Amino acid sequence: MEIDAFAVHLSTHKLGGELYGLYACSCGYDCRIVFSIEKYQETGEEVIVLLNIGTHDDVY
């Protein structure tokens, strides 16, 4: 995820509803990570901010 948050094996996708604007990916059979991608205006550097990790039911 550090190298490529959109690598195919992560199944990264945009979220909707209450989580609109965030992303989620899979980190195991029943493990999900909800995150955002923030950009520093001064440097233009993008960082991944982890917001929630857990089972599908836990994070959604």
Interval 1-60: pLDDT, tens: 889 999 999 999 999 999 999 999 999 889 999 999 999 999 999 999 999 999 999 998
Beta strands in 1-60 (DSSP E): 13-14, 23-28, 31-39, 46-54
Instruction: Name the phi and psi angles at 27, rounded to 5.
Output: -125, 20
Question: Does the residue 24 lie in any domain?
Answer: yes
Question: Domain range for residue 49?
Answer: 8-54
Question: Does the residue 3 lie in any domain?
Answer: no
Overall domain count for the chain: 1
Question: Does the residue 17 lie in any domain?
Answer: yes
Question: Does the residue 1 lie in any domain?
Answer: no
Give the integer Cα–Cα distance in Å for 17 and 1: 24
Instruction: Name the phi and psi angles at 19, rounded to 5.
Output: -105, 15
Question: Does the residue 29 lie in any domain?
Answer: yes
**One-letter identity of residue 24:** A
pLDDT at 1: 87
Question: Does the residue 44 lie in any domain?
Answer: yes
